Amino acid sequence: NFSYAEIPVLHCASGALNPLKWGHIVIFLQKFYAQYPLDQCTRPPSTCFHTSRKLFLFNYYYKHYIPAQILDLAYRAAGKKPSFVRIYSKIWKMVETLHYFTTRGWEFESKNILTLWNSLNAEDQKVFNFDIRQVNWDDYLFDYVMGVKVYLLKENLDNLPAARANLAKLKQVNLYWNAGFWALLVRFFAWLKQVNLYWNAGFWALLVRFFAWKRTRTQKWSMWFLGFMATYIFQNYDFRPAVNMKTLEEYKRTAALVKSF
């Protein structure tokens, strides 16, 4: 029997021993869904965190809300039931609910859990393995996200070739969307230039003076091309750190081993 002067508090937390940061999760998800896309994917997956609320709202409306409205309009025209705005409204509520937790971090000391771990013999450490330092987060995330795909969404891994082909088509659609967006933006600035009422209208007037005021048509299209290419490069080339992702065969072997218990 043991007696303690104080009640021992043990934090079995990863933060101090084997931290997993949101930045790494974002990179992993981006790479995972590029290689193992969902069967019902409706746009190229992208994951990012913003320190600016305004930039976050811009991306939400530009990448999600406006396309959802357009798709619902197309579905209505085709006599189908619209659902994209409703789905994104649920996603918006979830993001706003989790906002407090996803934008903050907490530190929990784990000294006592290490003391307990070091007090175990080798056999007990093998049977009661709670050493969070041994967790490979890339493998953990792979199993977690693949499990969502296979067991929650009920997707068949044999459909991956079709899902990848669908993702390739969606990237083309996204390419046309960005081209149209930048073209409209250039035309919008040109329109602002012709309207005297907006010359001194704060922020937009400054943008016109710096980017569209007294510019030639060639210069305007050059601005469009540069903006369009910047978007294309950002979405199609990944310059972020690499993650160690297991192969599909390794995952299948692990899943088969779990099922055997």
Q: What is the pLDDT of residues 225-261, one digit of tens each?
A: 666 667 667 766 777 788 888 888 888 887 776 666 5
Distance CA 251, CA 15 (A): 26
* Lowest-pLDDT range of 40-49, 55-64, 97-106, 115-124: 40-49
* Helix residue ranges per DSSP H, the chain: 22-35, 53-60, 66-77, 84-102, 111-119, 122-127, 137-147, 160-194, 202-207, 217-236, 248-259
Percent with pLDDT over 90 in the chain: 18
Tokens 């067991």 belong to: 151
Contact residues for 120 (Cβ-Cβ < 8 A; gap 6+) = 128
pLDDT score of 118: 93
pLDDT digits over 40-61, tens only?
877 777 777 777 888 888 888 8
Tokens describing residue 176: 């046309």
Higher pLDDT, 261 or 169: 169
**65: exposed, middle or buried (C-beta count within 10 Å: 0-12, 13-18, 19+)?**
middle
Distance CA 130, CA 125 (A): 8
The yes-or-no verdict on residue 120 having pLDDT over 90 is yes
Distance CA 87, CA 68 (A): 9
How many angstroms separate the most distant Cα atoms in the chain? 87
The yes-or-no verdict on residue 125 having pLDDT over 90 is yes
Beta carbons of 38 and 149 less than 8 angstroms apart: yes
pLDDT score of 124: 95
pLDDT score of 199: 40
Beta carbons of 138 and 245 less than 8 angstroms apart: yes
Distance CA 228, CA 181 (A): 9
pLDDT band with cut points at 50, 70 and 90 for residue 107: confident
pLDDT band with cut points at 50, 70 and 90 for residue 126: very high
The yes-or-no verdict on residue 123 having pLDDT over 90 is yes
pLDDT score of 144: 92
The yes-or-no verdict on residue 29 having pLDDT over 60 is yes
Distance CA 257, CA 261 (A): 7
Average pLDDT, the chain: 80
Type of residue at 259:
K
Evaluate if pTM is beyond 0.85.
no
Higher pLDDT, 119 or 257: 119
Report the pLDDT averaged over residues 77-102.
87
Beta carbons of 43 and 255 less than 8 angstroms apart: no
Tokens 């937390």 belong to: 13
pLDDT band with cut points at 50, 70 and 90 for residue 219: low
pLDDT band with cut points at 50, 70 and 90 for residue 133: very high
> b/e for 175-204, b at 16 or more Cβ within 10 A?
bebbeebbeebbeebeebbeeeeeeeeeee
